[in-house]
A and B are shown apart, each in its own frame.
Chain A
Amino acid sequence: EAGVVQSPRYKIIEKKQPVAFWCNPISGHNTLYWYLQNLGQGPELLIRYENEEAVDDSQLPKDRFSAERLKGVDSTLKIQPAELGDSAVYLCASSFGEYAYNEQFFGPGTRLTVL
């Protein structure tokens, strides 16, 4: 069974440029998460989807971040414009079921560097 797929793995951009990350969850997993992880820290939730509905986006900086999960399968996270402080690893995870006590499966992440 294929795991969570993310692309690109690495991205280097200059500040004020836009950037997009893509995630394809494990087949059949209805819940999808986008996390941000800084070095030496745990993941921080940006947004959670139940199927195509964003059910928790309270931590998403909506002035520059946007996300979508059309058809309730794969998802895209966008930053426009990027700032220096956005440099981090962006992790996508999926789970079967909507509750946090369900095991989450993570993709390899996208390491973003903003210059």
Chain B
Amino acid sequence: GQNIDQPTEMTATEGAIVQINCTYQTSGFNGLFWYQQHAGEAPTFLSYNVLDGLEEKGRFSSFLSRSKGYSYLLLKELQMKDSASYLCAVPDSNYQLIWGAGTKLIIKP
């Protein structure tokens, strides 16, 4: 079966760096997504990793290790607007996305 684990909540300081981890178990592997969701809003796409390694996109980077079933989202130079939930998702064997519960990131001044 499919299983995704993320920390429920994290707190970080404005201007700092934070790493949000995601571990997953799948019967196959077709990539891993990260989405951002501000309170009361819809999820928006951040990244999609299918190969091992780090992909950088501005202040946000996403890392994948397929052998370890592990990914992380790295946010640099944190801004107050980065306060949101960060959702990890992987496709299942039917090619449908299975979503984690999300990590609520709180940014303090």
Enumerate chain A interface residues (CB-CB to B < 8 A). Answer: 4, 40-45, 48, 56, 91, 93, 98-101, 103-109
Docked Cα-Cα span, A14 to B42, in Å, equals 25
* Interface pair A42/B89, CB less than 8 Å apart: yes
Q: Check: B50 CB closer than 8 A to any chain A CB.
A: yes
B97 engages A40 (CB within 8 Å): no
Beyond A40-B101, A101-B91, 8 extra complex contacts between A and B, CB < 8 Å = A40-B104, A42-B4, A43-B87, A100-B92, A100-B95, A100-B96, A107-B42, A109-B41
**What DSSP secondary structure best describes chain B's contact surface?**
loop
Given the contacts A42-B87, A48-B96, A101-B50, A106 and B42 also touching, CB distance less than 8 Å: yes
Chain B residues in contact with chain A, CB under 8 A? Answer: 4, 8, 30-31, 33, 41-45, 48, 50, 87, 89, 91-92, 94-97, 99-102, 104
Are B100 and A42 closer than 8 Å at their CB atoms? yes
Give the docked Cα–Cα distance between A93 and B37 (Å): 14
Number of cross-chain contacts by CB at 8 Å: 58
- Could you say which residues of chain B place their CB within 8 Å of the CB of A101? 30-31, 48, 50, 91, 95
Bound-state CA distance A4–B23 (Å) is: 30
Instruction: Give B45's nearest chain A residue, CB to CB.
Output: A103
Q: Which residue of B lies closest to A4 (CB)?
A: B42
